[in-house]
Structure 1
Amino acid sequence: MKAVTWRGVNEIGVEDVPEPRILNDHDIVLEVGLSATCGSDLHLVGGYIPAMRAGDVLGHEFMGTVAEVGRGVTKHRVGDRVVVVSFISCGKCWYCRQGLWSLCDNGNPNPGITEALWGQSIGGCFGYSHALGGWAGSHARYIRVPYADNGAFTIPEGVSDERALFASDAAPTGWTGAHQAEVQPGDVVAVWGAGGVGQMAARKAILMGAERVVVIDRFDNRLQQVRTHIGTETLDYEQTDVPAELREMSGGRGPDVCIEAVGMEAHSPGPQYLYDQVKQQMRLQTDRPTAVREAIWACRKGGTVFTLGVFAGLVDKFPLGAVMNKALTLRGAQQHGHRYIPEILDLMSRDEVRTEHLATHVMPIEDGPKGYRMFKEKEDGCVRAVFRPGG
């Protein structure tokens, strides 16, 4: 079968790979209907995430139709239309039982790499390097889904494929940020990044009762999507002093909650961007923390900063003094989608969460390299390139 693969740094290919098969009684094989690019994929493309191998199949945000079920699967049948959470979790270990699904002890069969990086291993993720398990990704006609009774969720009738697709990763990641940042009714919330994850974090903050939500970005088309489809205010960080504007919007204090949804390749219009980029390219730091720094600087005293964008390792010039002296709560997480997807699908079925606008460019799997180029370079207003493996 054809699949979109990582061939090397900044090199994407389409090649033939073996079709998956049932290896465990709790597996399903899914015929992929739609599979989306994600901003965190660009860290793989750029070579910033370790342990990629030529020929690895990319993709971790997807939905489709069940083609085959293992003997131990009880919740799904052949022909069911399901969306699959991007993180792979067993449902049995201590972390899964606590609802910390992305920290699963059994979802990553290669724990040594992340143990060396972070002190402990986290769960596995489809199509996201051998550091997170070496699982084949979803940019292919078929994909094997382990622990399917935990990670695959039936899509309600009336919810389109294009809408359900983003219940796999973008929406539950945004939900994780807003929920774990403990947004309260009446809060002022600032979100850095107007991609799919940032938009969904803003939507969840609204549903949690935030009085004012502001999304920060520099791309006009993404900011327009936020205003049109999410219904929040926006700031263009290339046109304004963001911390000053946020203080003005929050009675002089700063936001109660700041959610960083950009990650390790953050952009900035100032000289610090060149500094961070040079250090990252020379591998003197692994990540560019521009947006995190600004979020910490902007957050009100005693507020919460949540790092929702993907980071891999080490950053320079981290404002730890501000975190300590301003009494900030600093948190972060990969998504706990198993907890949030049932709620998201229900809201989608009632038109309270809409995501199909994110799929700006839908194309066949053979256009994989083109799709990633358009997504990375933001060509033609591309917010997400989405592949339809069936043609």
Structure 2
Amino acid sequence: MWHGRQHLVLATPLVATCVLAGIWDGFQSGLFNGSPIVDRPAPLVVDATLGVAAGLAVLVRRDRPRLLYVTALLSWGVTGAYPALLIAQFAIGAHLRSGRQQILLTAVMLAAVSGPLWMVSGGDGAVPVSFVLCVVPVLVGLYLTSRRELMANLRDRARRNEREERLRIEQARAEERAQIARDMHDVVTHRVSLMVLHATALESTQGRDAVAIASQIQSIGRAALEELRTLVGVLRDGAAAPLRPQPGLADLDELVASSRALGLTVELAVEDGLRTPALVEHAVYRVVQEALTNVHKHAHDARTVVSVRAVPDGVRVVVRDSGGSLAPTVATGGGHGLLGISERVRLVGGTLRTHRPPGGGFEICADLPAARLAEEEDGA
């Protein structure tokens, strides 16, 4: 509705000018005293009719620029009126899509205008006037149309970029939620498993060392609650993520020590001088953490060996236990732990393998591409 009204408002003075050019010689070329084709003027009714026809054609210039072109050519040939000619040539450049037709129609109009002018005023007057009347409006129409299309393309591109940016933000949020879910699983599984095992140990001691074991349960519970509050705050309230570094290779000793405190026999072997990106170190820590949690639950009396060493393509983590019995009062769980660390390893471009060795027990082996990730971090 608004665009149609705006088009009518802009067209009204153009229509009035074309109609007026049919009856007022101020908008007609005075060189011909009427028609540039014949020596005598046309009747007023003919001039007025052509002016009205050109004015009406102006209203449909966008959809039918050729109709305006024909009426403008007739108005020029019969009355010497030039306003419709200027508008028609502009419409040819702005609204006619065929470049071949634009050139052809401009050449015809140029010949129709320059021929009579040449005979009356010679080439010095005919050439510049014909160029201004026939060629300049076409060029202006082409320029404005190209500019309008360019601005429309830029707006479309901006809207497309905005949609893509929203999609990227949503994807990043989904990945962040998945990362938080993995961390929550790691925290809950490991901490709660330790608390249950400590509680089991407290029951088996029959009162001996009860204070020390209860203190350990309390410390583990508080640590679990603190980590859960932080993760839930990030997930629910959009709070800033904690700035403390994520656990890595340097924290493996503490992780193994907490397992030993529960009576698990664990040997840790980390290659000296091993340097890996922080993302890989965090993945290594989570793999070992989940593997030890599984040992606590499924083979608490087994001997476990944790090995972290460099390989040609990165870092290899191996956690192998000798096999044992299921810990008392510990549920087996839903099996999401191995799926979680498998996904975590895959996100950094690594692979995870699990199998049962011929001698018994269970082995988890993860290969992480530390060298490639280090190059990416340096490039970033």
- Normalised by the length of structure 2, the TM-score is 0.21
The structure with the largest alpha-carbon Rg is 2
Which has the bigger relative contact order, CA under 8 A and spacing at least 6? 1
